[in-house]
Structures are given as C-alpha cells and as structure tokens.
Amino acid sequence: MLDAEFFRRWMTATAAAMDREAARLTALDSPIGDADHGTNMQRGFRAVRTTLEKEPPATPGAVLTGAGRQLISTVGGASGPLYGTLLRRAGKTLGDAAEVSREDLAAALRTGVDAVSALGGAAPGDKTMLDALVPAVDALTGSFGAAVDAAAQGAQATVPMQARKGRASYLGERSIGHQDPGATSSALFFETLAATAAEAGE
C-alpha cells in the first residue's frame, strides 16, 4: 500500500528529475514551442518540494491536491494548469484515505487524465502530454514498470505526429519529426513513480 510518505517521496523525486532534465525538456520545446518547458517544470516542482517540506500533508490525496495547487499557481505556461489539474483531480479522487493501492492510484490518475483532456480539449494523437499519460495510466493497472514503458513509448510515438493542440499546433506540418516536450515530462513523472515504488519495495 502507498501512504503519504510514499507520495511525498514521489513528488520530491519528480522535482529532482525536473532539475536534472530541465535543459533537455527546454531543448525539446525549442523547435516546436517557446523553449520554456524545462524551466516551467523545474519552477513548478521546486515549489511543490518546498511546500511539502514546510507542511508535509498527512494523506496521499492531500499530497497530490497540494502539488497540483502549487503547479497551477507557479507555472505560467499551458503545462502548469494541465499538470495541476491532473494532480488536483487525482488527489480529490483519492479522498482522505491514509493508504491507497496501485489500482486506486491508477483509477485516480484516470480521473485526472480525463480532466486534462476536458480542460485542454486534446485527445491521444494530438501530440501532447496525453500521448504519454493515457497509455501510462492504462498500463498502471498492471504494474509500475509497465506504466513506465508505456509512457516512454507514448512519448516516442509523438515524434511523427502533427500537433493539433497547444503552441506546437501553430507550426502545422513543421511540428512533425520532433518529440513533444510535455509527453516527455509525463514519461519522467512515471519513471519517478516506478523508482519510488522500487525503493519502497512495492
């Protein structure tokens, strides 16, 4: 079972991953965006880490809703409200349970992904974060490792796609041939989840 400590570790690991990968995420956002995705993610998850350290939430749901709130208030780009919505909605779905199962988390993230789709009007195939998030959440019902693989494959699969949502869509056909930065950060998010689970012996 996954407790609040597990979720705090996951968010802290994500902040470290965004620090480490910021330059790569920004480089991906350069040809098909405005070269800020890495700094956006870094700023957002640093704020999440700071808040978690100051006032550690007592339940998994509260960790996710608090993280989502921080992302919405600190990230200026499109990705802030979208990731913020993902985490807030997932956190609300988990409610005030002290411990949740991997299956509970998969179901909660599913409601979050649906909310991201409703907010941004995107679906898989539009070359957005949803191309990694949707297959990852589907695979999470099986195992953490399967979710990582599905997210990485989903991010890779955005390369030949033409963007239909977000800033990259302004480029039309010229968006083809580049990996989507948001799908790439979503894959990182599942990597840190699986790494946290492996450390916890889950």
- Out of Mg ion, ligand ADP, none, what residue 108 binds, judged by CB under 5 to 8 A for its kind, is none
The answer to whether 6 and 196 have CB atoms below 8 angstroms apart is yes
Q: How far is 144 from 20, CA to CA, in rounded Å? A: 22
29 touches ligand ADP by CB under 6 A: yes
Q: Does 29 bind Mg ion (CB under 5 A)?
A: yes
List 4, 33, 84, 122, residue binding Mg ion (CB under 5 A) = 33
Q: Least distance to ligand ADP from the beta carbon of 199, Å?
A: 28
Tell whether residue 81 is a contact of ligand ADP (CB under 6 A).
Answer: no
For residues 113 and 135, is the Cβ–Cβ distance under 8 A? no
- Identity of the residue, 109 or 131, whose beta carbon is nearer to Mg ion in the bound complex: 131
191 binds ligand ADP (CB under 6 A): no
Q: Is 55 helix (H, G, I), strand (E, B) or coil?
A: coil
We find the least distance from the C-beta atom of residue 165 to ligand ADP, in angstroms, to be 4
Query: Are 33 and 167 spatial neighbours (Cβ–Cβ below 8 Å)?
Result: yes
Question: Residue 48, Cα to own-chain centre: how many angstroms?
Answer: 13
Q: Which two three-digit tokens encode residue 74?
A: 């600190």
Examine residue 152 and tell whether it contacts ligand ADP (CB under 6 A).
no
172 to 3, 28, 29, 75, 168: CA distances (angstroms):
44, 17, 15, 26, 8
3 forms beta bridges with: 99
Nearest distance from residue 138's CB to Mg ion, in Å? 27
Give dist(CA 131, CA 113) in Å, integer.
Answer: 11
Q: From the list Mg ion, ligand ADP, none, which binds 135 (C-beta under 5 to 8 Å, kind-based)?
A: none
Residues that bind Mg ion (CB under 5 A): 29, 33-34, 36-37, 77
Residues that bind ligand ADP (CB under 6 A): 29, 33-34, 36-37, 40, 77-79, 82, 116, 120-122, 128-130, 165-167, 180-183
